[in-house]
Amino acid sequence: MNNEIKIVKCIDSLYPTVKLTIGKLYKVKESENDKFYRVIADDNNEEQLCYKYRFELVDINEIKELTLQDIFNEEEGIKYNRINGGSGIYTIQNETLIIGEHIKPVLNKRIMDSKFVKVKVERLVSFSDVINSDYKCKVKHYRVEGLIQEESSYTWLEEYQDLKDIMLALSEEFNTIALKEIINKGQWYLEN
């Protein structure tokens, strides 16, 4: 069994014995059973078994860990997760660290010693919202995902792009019926 610590992101929070937060990062180790991770679920490094399918691996090189001082130096309103510390989203408002929606100052030694990461929140919207917005967007649909897997030159479609660039690429690759299906049944997201 490998005791190497990996960073994973929760994608499914339904678990009766462990409180998980979708989108939150957790530290995990492999378990004896290859269907489970040993999740380091709280500040005292207690490990609990959780199904692997509830998580996706995160490339540690893409994560920038921030200290409490770092996040106070960032722009107000950005959302953060504490790596393996408590649940909820932290943010700075009026030079005060708050958790969740409660305007309640939160500070203790564990939080002061914690590492934080910025939270990327994807907003699922309608195609109508996309065309009425000036933000970049992306679409998730099985046809688009198939195209990305078949043609490595289309991996840029996994990131937020200008709508015109997405539509140009899709109209070159798909017929009108498939394009309408992607527009109507695809999951559209706007960049924050």
pTM: 0.46
pLDDT of residue 84: 58
pLDDT of residue 74: 81
pLDDT of residue 169: 93
pLDDT of residue 127: 93
**91 and 106 Cβ atoms separated by less than 8 Å:** no
User: Which residues in 113-152 are b (16+ Cβ under 10 Å) and which e?
Assistant: ebbbbebeeeeebebeebeeeeebbbbebebbeebeeeee
Give 135's contacts (C-beta < 8 A, 6+ positions apart): 160, 190, 191
Domain boundaries along the sequence of the chain: 6-61, 64-118, 123-190
pLDDT of residue 108: 74
pLDDT of residue 180: 95
pLDDT of residue 59: 67
Q: What is each CA distance from 126 to 77, 168, 184, 188, in whole angstroms? A: 25, 19, 9, 6
Q: What CATH number does domain 6-61 carry, 3.30.2320.50, 2.60.40.10, 2.60.40.420, 2.30.30.40?
A: 2.30.30.40
pLDDT of residue 102: 59
Q: Average pLDDT of each block of 10 consecutive residues along the chain (192 residues)?
A: 73 65 77 82 70 75 76 79 66 74 66 75 81 90 88 86 94 94 91 72
